Structure 1
Amino acid sequence: MAPVKAVAAKAAGLSALAGEDGDVLIAAAWLHDVGYAPDVLETGFHSLDGARWLLRHGFSPRIASLVAHHSCALYEADERGLGKVLAAEFRRKESVTSDALWFADMTTGPDGQDLSIEDRLAEIRERYGPDDIVTRFWRKAEPSLVEAVRRTQARMTDHPM
């Protein structure tokens, strides 16, 4: 739970960047990993499972889509053979809000600690090993993740909070 709390706290600190979407950002941060819960698990792909669960429980399509696509989830979906399913069910919209969610998630370690994007990706590679599906999709996703984090960092510099 520590990483989810830390991601949500980081998102709350970034909510001004998202403007009217600030509450949506915070909600998506709290819910981004709900798909790992055993009662939510369907496909084994937490982003898709969580987003489906959110829709079934009355959450907005916007929040569900942010959860579905958080932190380059489409790369993982492709690795798992679920890319077309994810894209068909949940629209991906690149935005300040999605970038901020990715930033909050990808600069928070597994114990809730602050990490740079580079250290977070190194931690993932170390934890999963070189041949794991997780390492494979992160390797492909890395340029897009780094770009989203850098865009958010630039916004933070332009609009100090």
Structure 2
Amino acid sequence: MNEVTVDWSRRVAEAELADALPRRWSHSQGVAARAAEIGRILGKDAYLLTASAVLHDVGYAPRLAATGFHPLDGARFLRDGHGADERLARLVANHSFALLEAEERGLREELASEFPLLEEPLLVDALVYCDMTTTPDGDRTTAQDRVAEIRSRYGDDSVVGRFIRRAAPEIFASVERVEAALTAQPR
């Protein structure tokens, strides 16, 4: 992964989201900005983090929404439509504890078999951190406020509401691990 991949990722995400879902595009840009800020903790994988950050919600694009589960739809689009790097597709597929939401939707086996979770904990945590500390409009927030916003927007009894309640402890733990890594890593 390098700057070329990040540029390609931005172009793909913008083409799919900017006109169709401008608020989702703002969020994706904000998540990518966070990724660029914290990439130093990942060394050579900093570009992979930024590329996955800008693409993490591409599956929301109306023309890509085959299953209605954006992590799976987005990862399939990247893999099948673009021959994207396997690690990139796996990060998009599994961002922010997507396996838990996939379970709520009856898609856990499908997601896990097609896009196994990467065994790179800091990279996975870093994408959670970037996503869950960025508002829908692309601004910074705390993970606690982001989870509360998601619950309020979708309602506790919705699929997303049930998922986010289950995922919240894991989200908060990921954010704490990334913050500890940032504190330990000099600027």
Taking structure 1 as the reference length, what is the TM-score of the superposition?
0.97
The range that moved more, 93-102 or 151-160, is: 93-102
Q: Which residue of 2 aligns with 1:69?
A: 94
Cα deviation, residue 131, structure 1: 1.1
Could you give the per-residue CA deviations for residues 8-59 of structure 1, whole angstroms, max 9, x where no partner exists?
Answer: 0000111111111111111000100000011211111000000011111121
Q: Distance in 2 between matches of 1:147 and 1:130?
A: 21
Secondary structure in structure 1 of the residue aligned to 2:92:
helix
Identity, % of aligned pairs?
Answer: 50
Please identify which structure carries the higher helix content: 2
Q: Distance in 2 between matches of 1:61 and 1:147?
A: 26
Question: 1:148 aligned to 2:174?
Answer: yes
Consecutive unaligned residues of structure 2, counting only runs of 5 or more, are: 1-24
Q: Distance in 2 between matches of 1:132 and 1:45?
A: 14
Taking structure 2 as the reference length, what is the TM-score of the superposition?
0.84
Task: For 2:43, give the aligned amino acid.
Answer: G
Q: Which residue of 1 aligns with 2:3?
A: none
Secondary structure in structure 1 of the residue aligned to 2:106:
coil
Mapping of 1:98-137 within 5 angstroms? 98-137=124-163
Secondary structure in structure 1 of the residue aligned to 2:40:
coil
Q: CA RMSD in A?
A: 0.9
Segments ≥4 residues shifted beyond 3 Å:
none
Cα deviation, residue 70, structure 1: 0.2
- What is the aligned counterpart of 2:63 among 39, 42, 55? 39
Q: Which residue of 2 aligns with 1:21?
A: 45
Q: Distance in 2 between matches of 1:141 and 1:130?
A: 13
Question: 1:2 aligned to 2:26?
Answer: yes
Q: Distance in 2 between matches of 1:53 and 1:160?
A: 37
Larger RCO (CA under 8 A, 6+ residues apart): 1
Q: Distance in 2 between matches of 1:41 and 1:123?
A: 23
Task: For 2:41, give the aligned amino acid.
Answer: L
Question: 1:89 aligned to 2:110?
Answer: no
Q: Distance in 2 between matches of 1:103 and 1:151?
A: 9
The range that moved more, 23-32 or 122-131, is: 122-131
Q: Which residue of 2 aligns with 1:55?
A: 79
Q: Distance in 1 between matches of 2:30 and 2:67?
A: 26
Task: For 1:35, give the aligned amino acid.
Answer: G
Q: Which residue of 1 aligns with 2:8?
A: none
Could you give the per-residue CA deviations for residues 87-118 of structure 1, whole angstroms, max 9, x where no partner exists?
Answer: 00011024211111110000011111211111
Cα deviation, residue 130, structure 1: 2.0
